[in-house]
């Protein structure tokens, strides 16, 4: 579904990404881990169109994304979340989800009056869907609460709710459990499993919580200093000496 080929990006003398290669197949949950400053968010920015790479290519569902804008990429079925929730903090939880629905009909007042039955049908369907998503995420009780008043974990869940409303083919999730109360991490993990299993959304996840990575991901890529230094299953990654040295920060046990 997604193939990143020899992607490089520099900022003056700083090489943020160097010949990065990465693949995500349809239906997978793929992890992307690495120390802070390793280039993970830069990679997401480039794949989603917020920045342009200096060299290399990005192919999504057989088509190049080079030069495409973020909104154009989103319309093709590739969306992303950010480390910090970017939702409408002065909108309610329900309004945030309704704004993300991908099948809304754009119309001015005159056109809307002419197409009123069709518009009402779509709006009612989206309202029903939004309430189903809130229930799935355990957020029914905050439906009419301003998102700015919610906890960090609840705002992360709203981010996932907007993804579910948009129904993309692929979502890039930037640290979905970061800063979240431990009691909500399991809710987020369950929601991600549901997104893949029941909604058919392929996921590429940047995450530091190795328990979540191990539970969710079939394959993991490790970035360090802008390079992919390892790839494999979570078990393979956690036993890789280079990954242990550069990221996990622990030593192998010494056997007598």
What's 236's domain CATH number?
A: 3.40.50.300
Instruction: Report if residue 35 sits inside a domain.
Output: yes
Instruction: Report if residue 94 sits inside a domain.
Output: no
Question: Domain containing 14: what range?
Answer: 2-89+162-248
Instruction: Report if residue 104 sits inside a domain.
Output: no
pLDDT higher than 70, residue 254: no
How many domains is the chain built from? Answer: 1
| Mean pLDDT within 32-46 | 94
Instruction: Report if residue 137 sits inside a domain.
Output: no
∠ CA 201-19-28, nearest 5°, is 15
Rounded to whole angstroms, the Cα distance separating 111 from 75 reads 23
Instruction: Report if residue 154 sits inside a domain.
Output: no
Model's pTM, two decimal places? 0.87
| Mean pLDDT within 174-181 | 88
Q: What is the pLDDT of residues 115-162, one digit of tens each?
A: 666 667 778 888 999 999 999 999 999 999 999 999 888 999 999 999
Determine the pLDDT at residue 112.
52
For residue 63, report the phi and psi dihedrals to the nearest 5 degrees.
-120, 140
């Amino acid at each position: 579904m997604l193939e990143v080929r020899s992607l490089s990006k520099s900022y003056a003398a700083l090489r943020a990404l160097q010949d990065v290669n990465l693949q995500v197949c349809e239906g997978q949950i793929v992890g992307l881990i690495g120390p802070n400053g390793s280039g993970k968010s830069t990679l997401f920015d480039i794949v989603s169109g917020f920045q342009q790479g200096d060299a290399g290519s990005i192919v999504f569902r057989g088509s190049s994304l080079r030069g495409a804008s973020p909104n154009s990429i989103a319309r093709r079925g590739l969306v992303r979340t950010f480390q910090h929730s970017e939702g409408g903090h002065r909108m309610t939880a329900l309004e945030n989800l309704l704004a993300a629905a991908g099948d809304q009909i754009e119309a001015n007042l005159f056109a809307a009056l002419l197409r009123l039955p069709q518009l009402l049908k779509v709006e009612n369907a989206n309202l029903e869907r939004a309430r189903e998503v809130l229930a799935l995420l355990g957020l029914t009780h905050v439906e009419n609460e301003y998102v700015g008043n919610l906890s960090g974990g609840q705002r992360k869940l709203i981010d996932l709710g907007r993804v579910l409303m948009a129904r993309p083919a692929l979502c890039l999730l930037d640290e979905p459990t970061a800063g979240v109360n431990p009691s909500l991490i399991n809710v987020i993990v369950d929601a991600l499993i549901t997104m893949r299993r029941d909604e058919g959304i392929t996921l590429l996840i940047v995450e530091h919580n190795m328990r979540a990575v191990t539970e969710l991901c079939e394959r993991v890529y490790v970035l360090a200093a802008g390079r992919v230094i390892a790839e494999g299953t979570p078990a393979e990654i956690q036993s890789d000496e280079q990954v242990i040295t550069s990221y996990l920060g622990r030593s192998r046990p010494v056997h007598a």
